[in-house]
Structure formats: C-alpha cells, structure tokens
C-alpha cells in the first residue's frame, strides 16, 4: 500500500484532500504545524499552556471513520464568549484535547486516545510537540509574532512583504514525523496559506534534513488565489521558490489551477473572503513533468478546488 504524507494547516487540507483521499486504498499520514494562535485555540493556549488543538482536530475529523454522533460531538461549540478575530465559544474537541494534555502531561497518550475515539484511518501527527510560535520578519525589518497576526493582519501593514518566517523558541520536530517523511512514497504540500499554514510545518529542527533524505515524490499544490498580507502579487513560481527554499530540495511536481473564472464570480467570492486578492499568476510557465496546470476549481460559486480533481491528480502521480 502506497504511503502518502500530507502537510498543511487545518482549514483547507482536511476538506480538500483528507476526506476524499481516505476513500482510496492508501496509507495516509497528515501533519500540521502546531502554531495556531487564534480564537478558541489561542485562548486555551494562553489559559492552560497547552499545544494548539484546533488544526490537528480538523485533521482527525477528516480521517475519522467513527459514528456520526462522535463527529458531531467533536464539532459542538460551547458558549457565546467572543475571542480575538470574532471567534465565538470553545469547540468541544479543543476542550477535550487540551484537557487531556493538561491532565495527562503526555501528548503521545493524548494522540493515542483521540485517534482511538475517532476511529481514525491513518495518522494525524503534530510537526512538533514542543510549544512555540511562528514569527515573521517584514521587508521593513519589523517582527510579527503569532500565526493569527500573520494570517489576518490587524496590527501591521498588510502591504509589507514577508521576508522570512521562523519559530520562537526554536523547537525539535516530533520524531515520528521524521520517520514517515523518510518512508513516504508521496509527500504533498498545501494548498493553503503559505506563511501561516504550510511553511511553519517545515520549521522544527530536523524536518528539512528529512526531506533531503527522502526518496518520496514531492508535490506542491499551489493555492488558487493570492492573499493580502502573505502572498499578494505572487505567481506560481514565487510559491514554488519559497517552498523549495524551506524544504531544502527541489519539488518533483507542482499542480496549479490554470482556469480564470469570470470577474463577477471572483468579486462575489471576495465578498465572502475579503483577504483573497486575485487568481495566482501562471503566465510564462511551460508545461512539463514538473508543472501540471489544470482547471481544478469547482464548477460554480466559490473559487475553491474540487476534491475529486485534486485527489485524482495525486493518485496519478503516486502510481
């Protein structure tokens, strides 16, 4: 059975890749960065000094084969308390995972319990089990601290480009992810927010070196649209350059959307997602074994990828 490892944050990867991929006979490991700092997750981190539960619980739910009541329980949200960014109430799963960690003081045991409860197909692993925050240095040398501020700029000028990101404090990779990287047949990066979701996965010590040792096919799925504060004016090649810089080796394949929706559809979607700026520029790219351009979008409405199209492309490459 082919081993596929997926890297990314908690919003895009679970619905786009994991839910669809688990329908196929492959061995799945999903890995998330553990730097989330907003909403319910951020409040639990601050109150109880725990690892961020928000992103990994989305991965767990996406790969869950448990009865529907368990999934609904994990999605249930308590209360009306409003946190920074307008998030309201604590999610049951966040409380459950944070409570287990606070009580057991053993994150590996937490993972074991939650995987068993949700009857997870595959594994959902943290990039690190040491506590840290992602920071960004802007082009004017200012420092931004925290995933939440990088994700949705509230205190800094979003027109300033990000020069680099790093962790404070520096932390080691969770040893189990180094093993799955080196044993993988296919490693998938993205899509998702570049500096707040994808790249932070690669920052713990040891991750870059494992990519360099791995013989796996390394695939990047480029986001469909650029984002204010992170990737405004980025082209497909800009995304690729940053990914390759942080993983320390060359990608084997890059899948990108080469369909441009009509202007009305773009503007309607921007009303829902005002942080998204424009379709990622793909001009000048020559189709090759490395660059694969397709219409990856759903047929109408939101400018999001079609999971069946994306997973179909992944399965072609892993054969």
pLDDT single digits (tens) 212-242: 999 999 999 999 999 999 999 999 999 999 9
Instruction: Determine the pLDDT at residue 179.
Output: 97
Instruction: Give the pLDDT mean for 160-178.
Output: 97
Instruction: Give pLDDT, residue 287.
Output: 79
Domain ranges of the chain: 3-32+173-318, 35-126
CATH superfamily ID and name for 3-32+173-318: CofD-like domains (3.40.50.10680)
Mean pLDDT on 265-292: 93
Least confident interval from 107-121, 195-209, 230-244, 285-299: 285-299
pLDDT in tens, 55-70: 999 999 999 999 999 9
pLDDT tens for each residue of 90-99? 889 999 999 9
Question: Which strands form 217-221's sheet, in the order they lie side by side?
Answer: 123-126, 27-32, 3-7, 186-189, 217-221, 253-257, 291-294
In eight-state DSSP terms, residue 122 is S
Backbone phi and psi for residue 235, each to the nearest 5 degrees, phi listed first: -100, 170
Please write the tens of the pLDDT for every residue from 181-216: 999 999 999 999 999 999 999 999 999 999 999 999
Q: Which position has the token pair 């790249």?
A: 199
- Is residue 189 within 8 A of residue 159, CB to CB? The reply is no
Neighbouring C-alpha atoms within 13 Å toward the C-beta of 96: 20
Write down the pLDDT at residue 82: 59
What mean pLDDT is predicted for residues 275-283? 95
pLDDT at 83 over 60: no
Distance CA 116, CA 118 (A): 6
Band (286; pLDDT cuts 50, 70, 90): confident
Structure tokens at 23: 């329908």
pLDDT band (50, 70, 90) for residue 25: very high
């Amino acid at each position: 059975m082919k081993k596929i490892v997926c890297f990314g944050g908690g919003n895009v990867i679970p619905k786009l890749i994991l839910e669809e991929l688990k329908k196929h006979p492959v061995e799945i490991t999903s890995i998330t960065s553990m730097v989330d700092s907003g909403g319910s997750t951020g409040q639990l981190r601050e109150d109880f000094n725990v690892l961020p539960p928000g992103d990994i619980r989305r991965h767990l739910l996406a790969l869950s084969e448990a009865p529907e009541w368990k999934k609904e329980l994990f999605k249930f949200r308590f209360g009306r308390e409003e946190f920074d960014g307008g998030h309201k109430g604590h999610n049951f799963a966040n409380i459950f995972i944070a409570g287990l960690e606070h009580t057991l003081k053993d994150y590996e045991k937490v993972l074991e319990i939650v995987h068993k409860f949700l009857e997870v197909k595959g594994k959902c692993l943290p990039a690190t089990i040491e506590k840290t925050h992602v920071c960004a240095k802007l082009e004017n040398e200012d420092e931004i601290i925290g995933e939440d501020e990088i994700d949705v700029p509230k205190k800094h000028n979003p027109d300033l480009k990000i020069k680099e990101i790093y962790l404070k404090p520096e932390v080691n990779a969770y040893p189990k992810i180094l093993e799955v990287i080196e044993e993988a047949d296919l490693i998938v990066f993205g899509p998702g927010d570049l500096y707040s979701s994808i790249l932070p996965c690669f920052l713990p010590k040891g991750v870059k070196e494992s990519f360099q040792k791995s013989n796996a096919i390394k695939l990047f799925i480029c986001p469909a649209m650029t984002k204010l504060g992170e990737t405004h004016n980025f082209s497909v090649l800009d995304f690729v350059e940053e990914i390759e810089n942080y993983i320390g080796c060359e990608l084997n394949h890059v899948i990108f959307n080469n369909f441009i929706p009509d202007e009305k559809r773009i503007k309607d979607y921007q009303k829902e997602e005002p942080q998204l700026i424009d379709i990622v520029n793909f001009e000048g790219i020559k189709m090759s074994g490395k660059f694969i351009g397709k219409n990856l979008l759903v047929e109408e409405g939101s400018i999001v990828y079609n999971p069946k199209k994306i997973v179909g492309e992944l399965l072609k490459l892993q054969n």
